[in-house]
Amino acid sequence: MKDFWGRLSMLIVLFISTTGAVDAVNVVAYGQVGGQITLRTESESDLYVDWYSDGQEVISKNIYGVEKKSDKWKGRVSLSKNSLIISQLRSEDFNKSFNCELRMGNTLRSSTTYSLRTMSVQPPPSSLLAGETLSLRCDLQGPDKRQVKWLGPQKRDLSKDNRVQVPNGISLTVSNVSGKDHGQWLCEVTSDNQQYVANAWVVVVDLSPAPKQPIYTSTSSLSPLIPCSIPFNVSMLKEKGIKGAYWSFTPGRASGLPSGEPKKLLALGPPPTWESLLKSDKKLPVLQPPQKNNFDFSLQWSGVTEGDRGEYTCALEFKGDKTLKRVIHLEVLQVISSRGPQLLIGQDVNLTCSLGRPMAADLSVKWIRPTQRGSQTSSRSQSPALNSTHLTIQEVGSGDRGRWKCELWRKEEKLTTAEITLKIERAPMDVWLLVTICAATVIFILLLILTVILFRRRQQRGTMPRRRKHKFCRCKEPKPKGFYRT
């Protein structure tokens, strides 16, 4: 009885459709097995909507918005306004045609028939290693081979990508793939002014991107982090034949260490444990073994010094002499005092905020003075320009005691902060007392010696007898022996 009324309703619809002056429209639509497709039609309201598949009703809606679905299609079809949405497409769905009839009252407004064809994208047989070549093909059912458009992950436009080649409009080749190529690739087909999409998931094993700028830390920082990871599980790495991993370090010119070949710091081997490769007292980080869902071996340690400036390389080694590398630059900011951290009141000191090399033009520094209550601040220490890498404090006072901070900025972004603690004290009292006593003693001795010398000279002048003056003359007839007394 139910089939009788269903057939009767179909005959009535066919009768109305044949009596109305409506031309049937045929549309070719493309879908992917397991995917979803939308068969679009007019979205005008106050219409009766009937969707059929090979003469059997799929879904209908009256002018009040009440829907009626066939038991066979429940859970897989829905209406968006008047368009039909079919999810979880099956292979048998592509051997059928779908018909949409829109009626206003007893008048047939339109009748559209959709021929559903398959489209699919063949993914690569296995995951790819960064640097390899990706090949995809978009297969369309039927002789009507339409031009397709390829989109990368996150619907990235490929028109300006020099690595991409589309030789026949259907196949796609991408050379030197990287982590940004990991994800869902789309094949887009336009048919009768409607777009249909098939997709394929591509796995590219690559290290996380290295920071575009150097990592800035300071000798005052506790634990800088140098990131390196792979957002995949370990089993996928085993599929590509991973042999091991390691960290290496190349000192920079500003580190104070001799430059040369990179030195390996840590190695990761089976079983996954980290081993130190340096024979030194430097505290190397104890890293955790790879986790189940994330291969993360970021480097982190405490006690940063200027000797840590340089390039850090994390690497993964695979079979076939293939290696994935990331190079991260580490810059260490420090504050240097020309007299050291301990000063005496009244002394001059120069503070330098330095990366160990000339700073880039887009970097700037800001000095922050220590804030103390009840302390007298040197008036001359307030005058220097606080935005220079060099800061001169003349005749330091007790108010200059404390933490001087140097902040490194790039435009509106604070990168790191270095600091130095100045200890300013008065000279010890015993030292001044000793200096005063010594000076007074020396002056007293000098005065005593001078007094004795002057006294003795005056005494010698007073005790000497006065001598009479004798007159001498020369005779007219001198004797042979010379002069005689007269």
The answer on pLDDT for 122 being more than 80 is yes
Residue 282 token pair: 């430097």
Which of the four pLDDT bands, split at 50, 70 and 90, describes residue 340?
Answer: confident
- Among residues 426, 429, 438, the alpha carbon closest in space to that of 401 is found at 426
The answer on pLDDT for 10 being more than 60 is no
Q: Where are the beta strands (DSSP E) in 338-441?
A: 342-344, 349-354, 363-368, 390-393, 402-410, 413-425
Give per-residue pLDDT as tens, 95-109. Answer: 888 999 999 888 888
Ranges of each domain in the chain: 2-118, 123-205, 215-279+286-332, 338-425
Which of the four pLDDT bands, split at 50, 70 and 90, describes residue 474?
Answer: low
| Fold agreement between 2-118 and 338-425 | yes
The answer on pLDDT for 374 being more than 60 is no
Give per-residue pLDDT as tens, 425-470. Answer: 876 655 667 778 888 898 989 988 988 888 888 777 766 655 555 5
Give per-residue pLDDT as tens, 162-183. Answer: 999 988 778 899 999 998 999 9
Give per-residue pLDDT as tens, 195-252. Answer: 889 999 998 888 888 888 999 999 888 778 888 887 765 566 677 777 777 888 888 7
Q: In this structure, are strands 299-300 and 225-226 parallel, antiparallel, or unpaired?
A: antiparallel
Cα–Cα distance between 187 and 121 in angstroms, integer? 7
* Total-model pTM: 0.67
What is the length of the chain?
A: 486
For position 254, what pLDDT does the model report? 60
Q: Tokens 């219409």 sit at which residue?
A: 47
* Mean pLDDT calculated for residue range 249-276: 62
Percentage of the chain lying above the pLDDT 70 cut: 75
Residue environment code for 166-182, b if the CB has 16+ CB neighbours within 10 A, otherwise e: beeebebebeebbbebb
The answer on pLDDT for 60 being more than 70 is yes
Torsion angle of C-alpha atoms 372, 377, 380, 385, degrees rounded to 10: 10
Q: Tokens 């978009």 sit at which residue?
A: 138
According to CATH, the topology of domain 215-279+286-332 is Immunoglobulin-like (2.60.40)
- Contacts (Cβ under 8 Å, ≥6 apart) of 233: 292, 293, 294, 295
Which listed CATH number (2.40.50.100, 3.40.50.2000, 1.10.274.100, 2.60.40.10) goes with 2-118? 2.60.40.10
No. of H helices and E strands in the chain? 3, 34
CA 374 to chain centre: 44
Taking domain 123-205, whether its CATH number is 3.40.50.10320 is answered by no
Domain 338-425: give its CATH superfamily: Immunoglobulins (2.60.40.10)
For position 472, what pLDDT does the model report? 54
